[in-house]
Amino acid sequence: MDADSPRLPTTVRVSLSAAERAVGADESDIWQHEADEIVDGKYRLVRPLGRGGMAEVWLAVHVTLKTELAIKFLSVSLTGDPTRSRTVLERFRFEAQISARLGARTRHIVAVHDAGVHDDIPYLVMEYIRGRTLFAEVREKGPIDPRRFADMLDQIADALTVAHDMGIVHRDLKPSNVMLLDDPGAELTVKVADFGIAKALHGDLGLDRPRETEADVMLGSPNYMSPEQLSSPLAVDARADVWALGVLAYEVLTDWPPFQGNTIAELIVAVSTRDFEPATEVRRSLPRGLDGWFSRALAKEPARRFTSIREMVRAYRDALAAPPPAPAKASPARRPAALVAVAVACLGTLAGATALAWRLLGGPRAEPEAARHLSPGVRGALQELALRPPPATAAPPAATAPPPAVAPAGEPAPSAAATASARPRSTQPRPGADGGAPRATATAKPAPPTVPRRRKEIDKSEIL
């Protein structure tokens, strides 16, 4: 059972990822525990909740207080690279200290109550919460209602605001790190988990800060990482969490990720250079005001994003309350000029994109100062994608009139639509209105490879 399994009933399911991400381990490196085992004379293990490559989580009962808790044990191979093992231990301790301090300031962060070492194995004790991840909720029930998500957003924002005010950046916000409490008779309660790769922006927190991550290592889940986080973990501030929350919102409101790729390289290129499809085109029932909200949340340049999580939440509620815009009436006399403008913009975009790729990949006029900010991992991914041979294409068939579209009984025939964009958009298939099949598009190119609709997110947080 993996860390994202919806069958795990507790928040600690998602806490597994902090240790799993840091260092790979063989199955033989996992320390096996047993039911009724007593940990440090205080906790009795009841049953396992889940196990990952670097951690094992158990339901436990406090021997004296008889309260249920969750214990995460870190399993580190001491025969491996001592430097990396030490880094993992430092991050594990830092996670415990951050979570304990933040959990005392807000009820919307999974709290850590204790930490220690049992038989040479580090562990931390967390609150045990019956619930499910937001990832599992969407996977089972489909996209979230935008007004219900407003309540979730308030609570996620409360957690992140407390962290940011303390100088902590989460760096790994995603649906599988957001827990919904399983209590049908109570109000919705949301908690943010897993500060395993959090970053402290300054050193006066009174915590045991881990050593700085190397510049050639990417930390986080690539699907939710901002362009600057993909380039270097050292260039990250609170605006990276704004981006991640924007990606999370897009995904849970549309049941479709804004950026996709079949490989890490393709995903990096999509996040760094492509626009996302407007959310209201993926799910047409969404309020139109959300398109502008997503444009700010997912701006490539950090300076163009919301300045804080608080501002982000206020703007979301304003977008829900805004009246729908009146449809624009195009003047027939101006349509040719508009089409010419679109064509010119597309040509300019193509030339600019080509020049950008040429510079990044080391063409004759490459700019070292621009490439200097890319980590070796990112440069390697871009080079892999650029050097990949183009797919073979069949010769175009002779021009013939296309047969009329045939729709299932009771449904209108789909219409083809050609769209133009000021910047290249993702070529991955997406669902139609409200999660249906992808809409038809008129194109002279062969269709891209099909991507499964609910792909498992690329969730390796250390890419060398």
Binding site members for ATP: 72
Residue of 158, 172, 241, 255 marked catalytic: 172
441 DSSP assignment? B
Token pair 């957001």: residue: 178
- The DSSP result for 363-399, as a single string, is -TT--HHHHTTS-HHHHHHHHHHHHSPPPP-PPPPPP
Cα–Cα distance, 428 to 448 (Å, whole number) = 7
Which tokens is 371 given?
A: 């490439």
Q: Are 223 and 457 in contact (CB under 8 A)?
A: yes
Query: Is residue 172 annotated as a catalytic residue, yes or no?
Result: yes
Q: Which of 250, 111, 234 is nearest to 173 (CA)?
A: 250
Rounded to 10°, the helix 239-254/289-297 angle is 140
The dihedrals phi and psi of 73, each to the nearest 5 degrees, come to -100, 130
- Helix, strand, coil abundance in the chain, percent, nearest 5: 40, 15, 45
Looking from the CA of 320 toward its CB, the CA atoms found within 13 Å total 14
Token pair 């690539």: residue: 222
Which tokens is 127 given?
A: 């609150």
Length of the chain: 464
Cα–Cα distance, 79 to 111 (Å, whole number) = 32
Which residues sit in the known binding site? 72
194 φ/ψ sector (left φ>0, alpha ψ -120 to 50, else beta): left
Task: Give the number of other Cβ atoms within 10 Å of residue 163's Cβ.
Answer: 24
In three-state secondary structure terms, 62 is: strand
Cα–Cα distance, 277 to 270 (Å, whole number) = 12
Q: Is 403 exposed, middle or buried (0-12, 13-18, 19+ CB in 10 A)?
A: exposed
Strand 68-74 and strand 121-127: the pairing is antiparallel
Active site residues: 172
